[in-house]
Amino acid sequence: MLVLVVIGVVASKNSAPKVQKVCGGCRRTMLPVWTKCLFCGWAPVARLEFILGPMANQTLNLTDEVTTIGSVAGNTVVLADPAVSRKHAGIRKVESNYELADLGSTNGVYVNGQKVPKKTLEAGDIIRVGNTEAVFKRE
Ligand SMILES: [Zn+2]
Give the pLDDT band of residue 85 (cuts 50, 70, 90): very high
Ligand 1 centroid to 34 CA: how many Å? 11
Ligand 1 centroid to 90 CA: how many Å? 29
β-partners of residue 69 are: 77, 89
Contacts of residue 62, defined as CB under 8 A and 6 or more positions apart, other chains included, come to 45, 46, 47, 48, 91, 93, 98
pLDDT tens digits for 111-138? 999 999 999 999 999 999 999 999 999 8
Contacts of residue 63, defined as CB under 8 A and 6 or more positions apart, other chains included, come to 45
**Residue 134 carries which side chain, given as an amino acid letter?**
A
Look at residues 75, 81, 93 and name the one whose alpha carbon lies nearest to residue 138. 93
pTM: 0.73
Ligand 1 centroid to 81 CA: how many Å? 41
pLDDT tens digits for 48-63? 999 999 999 999 999 8
Give the pLDDT band of residue 1 (cuts 50, 70, 90): low
Asked if the model's pLDDT at residue 9 lies above 50, the reply is no
